[in-house]
Amino acid sequence: MIATRYALPYAVYHSPLPVMSLGLDVFVTLSFSSEISAKGMEAKGIENAESLIAAFFHLTGSGALSGATIAPWDSTASSVDFVGGPASNATWKVSNIRADERSIPILAQLFLITHSDFPITKIMIRGGLGERTLVALPATDKDLGIYPTVFTKLASRVGISPDLSADVIVVAHFASDPTIAQKEAIRLKIEDWIAASAIGCYPAPPHRPDFCSLEYDGTLDFFQAELQIGFRNFYCHREALYGLCNSLFAVKDNAPEVMRIVIM
C-alpha cells in the first residue's frame, strides 16, 4: 500500500500503479489556491516548489529510491523540466524516472514546505498529461514500510542498530580500496542523499518536513577499503537510512562493490 503518514492539507492524486517505476516520464502538477494567483506571488510559489522537485530529482539520481525490486544502479531520472500550466496550475516533467512507488508520498509530503507560504489545493502525479483515471493517496497510521526499503538482493549486507541516537555513524566496507576518482563518485551519490534528507524528503511525523534534518561536516573518512561517515542531529525518519544504503550500493559501476554496511 502506498500511503502517507500525514494528514495533508491538500488533495493528492496519482495515476494507477505502477507509475514511478516504469522508466517513463511522470508529470507533477500543483494547483495553487486563488490567494497566490496574482503575478509575482505565484512566481515565488512556483520557484519554491521547483527547488523541492529538484531535490527529489537528485535523490532519485542517487539511487536512494530504488526500493526492494529495482537495482539501485538502475534507479534514476534523466531530467526535470518546468512545462508551465494554465491559471494557478504549475506542471513539471520528470523524465525517464525509475523509482519505487513509495517515492510518491515522499514527493507529496515535501510540498508541505511550499504550502506553508503558498497554499496548495491539489497535487497530481501522472504518467501522462492526459491521464484522467487517478487514485487518491490515502493516509495511514502505520509507521514502518512507508518509504522505499533496501534493495532486497543486497539487504543481507546491511545492519542497522535498533537503538539509533541523534548521532549516527555509518561504516561501509568495500571489496577493495577505492581510487581517488571512485571516492569522488561515492561522495556525489552520498551528498545527493544528504542534501535531500536535510531538506525534508524523509520526514518523521508529527514533525513538518522542514523540521526533519541532519548535520554533516562534509568529511568522508576512508581507511583503505572502509568508509566512515558521521551525522549529528539526525532528525529524519529511520527509513531514510535505507535510502543511504541504496545510494552506496548504486556506485557499483564506478567503485568497488559494497560488501557490508553497518549503521549505529
92-118 confidence digits (pLDDT tens): 999 999 999 999 999 999 999 999 999
Domain spans of the chain, in order of start: 11-136, 152-263
| b/e burial code for range 38-58 (CB count within 10 A of at least 16 → b) | eeeebeebbebbbebbebbbb
Q: What is the mean pLDDT of residues 7-29?
A: 98
226-231 and 168-174 strand pairing: antiparallel
Instruction: Look at residue 42 in the predicted model and tell me its pLDDT.
Output: 65
Residue 251 to residues 104, 158, 254, 263, Cα–Cα distance (Å): 24, 16, 5, 18
Residue 39 predicted with pLDDT over 70: no
Confidence of residue 53 (pLDDT cuts 50, 70, 90): very high
Q: What is the mean pLDDT of residues 52-69?
A: 98
Compute the distance between CA of residue 22 and CA of residue 83 in angstroms, rounded to an integer.
21
Q: What's the mean pLDDT when you consider all of the chain?
A: 94
155-191 confidence digits (pLDDT tens): 999 999 999 999 999 999 999 999 999 999 999 999 9
Residue 37 predicted with pLDDT over 60: no
Instruction: Look at residue 234 in the predicted model and tell me its pLDDT.
Output: 97
| b/e burial code for range 184-222 (CB count within 10 A of at least 16 → b) | ebbbebbbbbbbbbbbbbbbbeeeebeebbbebeeebeb
Confidence of residue 34 (pLDDT cuts 50, 70, 90): low
- The class of domain 152-263 in CATH terms is alpha beta
CB atoms within 10 A of CB 96: 13
Tell me if the bond preceding 178 is cis, omega within 30° of 0: no
- Cell numbers at 155, concatenated: 539487504
Confidence of residue 41 (pLDDT cuts 50, 70, 90): low
Same fold for the domain at 11-136 and the one at 152-263? yes
In this structure, whether the domain defined by 11-136 belongs to CATH 3.90.1150.10 is answered with no
Percentage, residues of the chain above pLDDT 90:
88
Instruction: Look at residue 83 in the predicted model and tell me its pLDDT.
Output: 94
Higher confidence at residue 130 or residue 22?
22
Whether the CB-CB separation of 264 and 190 falls below 8 Å is answered with no
Instruction: Look at residue 40 in the predicted model and tell me its pLDDT.
Output: 61
- Cell numbers at 43, concatenated: 512566481
